[in-house]
Amino acid sequence: MSTIAMVGHHCLYIQFADPNLEDQYYPRSHQAANVRQVDFSEDLLPYRDYRDYTALHYAVIICNPTIVKMLLDHLADPLVRNSHGLTPREYLYYVERFTGEQNTEIEEMLHKKETSYPKDKAEHDERQRKAQLLKEKEYRKKHPLEDALKARIVGQLGPIHALASAIRRKQNGWHDEEHPLVFLFCGSSGVGKTELAKALAQHLHGKQLDKGFVRIDMSEFQHKHDVSRFIGSPPGYVGYDEGGQLTEKLKECPNAVVLLDEVEKAHPDVLTIMLQLFDEGRITDGKGTTVECKDAIFVMTSNLAQHEIADEAELLRLEASVSSDAQTTGTATVVDTNKRPKSAEQDSTAGAASDELVKRQISLSRQFIEHVIYPILYEHFRRDEFLGRINEVLFFLPFSEEELREITSRELSRWAEKARARHGITMTWDPEVVDVLSDGYNIRYGARSIKYEVERKVVNLIAKANENDDVLDGGRCKRLRLSIGTK
């Protein structure tokens, strides 16, 4: 928005200034009053309380119709009241009283604008909202959410496309505005469930990630009395002033991405609170304050049925390898709790190459999900209404050999960047090194096992060599190449 700011008797054209910004000047010292009178205006009493005055107040006080008109044209609020409870037009009485002059031009402008301002402001805000939505839409076209998630997550194309499709529906207004989006990520440890939630929050909130991403370990809420820590203690109880871990975060950022880690460990009473949250889109904290969170995105992770999912995935990979020798990606398709599974072909924004890759991936059959996975979920949660409020259940499968090599390469690249930045060492490696390190994969720990394997077999040796000055000096920088030795 472009506005006019007033300095003394002069007006400046300033882009993106706020015409309704309120002054907070209060004469606390003689020095402040002197500076105010010299640098701001000689026509204003320096020892007067000017809190909550706007530029329009000052324009009326100095009786400048040109500045008044420009401010009103840029949606300065003629109805705003300062700390003395006066609107800009009410100062015309004092101007006439002290100067003996009556400014009918300013009077007419202010009176007319006071009548039309609410409508003009609403129309302006609506135009601004539509322009912002269009800008965000154009940005999403140029930077698809799928691309941002794939840059952070290895494999798991099914969950990525399903999550991106649900977010896209929400961003474009094709969703239930009365309820937040709720996801359940199922799969083994270390397969990208938490990382995918983080990547989503990073894409949606950017620099505001500290507020836009809320992670709550549900293993800390295994007892009945832990409900008070979740939403806040009632009056008279310990922790009342601190508020709830969830509610306080949602007050700061109502559209946050909330990760509820290991949800199966939460006490049933905590699940009752979560059901209210998912069903009504709001929650009442211990202080009786209603916290709205219809725009939030809730991601629950669970290790339930992880062994069944992993075993089925390995069986599917074996069958695919034997029957067609086709390359698979090792990720699972998506299952909506109330709808048939969706393929990537239904997502019109995904590229053709990505669609083809998703179609070739292995997927858990609907029969397996309904007869093996869902009974496990129902047996644990024992509440159809709780599972019924989950928009989509996403299944994460253990990594394939190809994905393990990619994870290993990424981990080596991460350490290569640290070696260059911290120690001036250029680190390279033979392809065989990736194969050997990827063999350290442990399905129980997922990608973390690759990280630990790289640290044990590579980083430890490099750190020792660097300490002993055994790294080759290639002139300006040290060079190090990793290879597989033979005995």
pLDDT of residue 477: 56
User: Is residue 379 a part of any domain in this protein?
Assistant: no
Residue 104 shares a structural domain with residue 232: no
Domain C-terminal end among 79, 104, 135 = 135
Residue 147 shares a structural domain with residue 128: no
Q: Tell me, what CATH number does 74's domain have?
A: 1.25.40.20
pLDDT of residue 163: 94
Residue 290 shares a structural domain with residue 432: no
Residue 88 shares a structural domain with residue 218: no
Q: Tell me, what CATH number does 184's domain have?
A: 3.40.50.300
Residue 282 shares a structural domain with residue 414: no
Domain limits at 40? 22-135
User: Is residue 270 a part of any domain in this protein?
Assistant: yes
User: Is residue 421 a part of any domain in this protein?
Assistant: yes
Residue 284 shares a structural domain with residue 202: yes
User: Is residue 479 a part of any domain in this protein?
Assistant: no
pLDDT tens string, the chain, 487 residues long: the values are 344 445 544 555 555 678 888 888 888 777 878 777 777 777 777 788 888 899 888 888 888 888 888 888 888 888 899 888 988 888 888 878 777 777 788 888 888 888 888 888 888 888 888 888 788 788 888 888 889 999 899 988 889 999 999 999 988 888 888 889 999 999 888 899 999 999 999 999 988 888 999 999 999 999 888 888 888 877 666 666 677 888 889 999 999 999 999 999 999 999 998 998 998 888 888 778 888 889 999 999 999 998 898 888 888 878 877 765 544 444 444 444 444 444 444 444 444 444 444 445 677 888 999 999 999 999 999 888 899 999 999 999 888 888 999 999 999 999 999 988 888 888 888 888 888 898 888 877 888 889 999 999 888 888 888 777 776 665 455 777 777 765 4
Residue 99 shares a structural domain with residue 157: no
User: Is residue 341 a part of any domain in this protein?
Assistant: no
User: Is residue 68 a part of any domain in this protein?
Assistant: yes
pTM: 0.70
User: Is residue 344 a part of any domain in this protein?
Assistant: no
Residue 295 shares a structural domain with residue 152: yes
Residue 193 shares a structural domain with residue 77: no
Residue 102 shares a structural domain with residue 191: no
Whole-angstrom Cα distance, residue 301 to residue 198? 12
User: Is residue 368 a part of any domain in this protein?
Assistant: no
Q: What's the domain count of the chain? A: 3
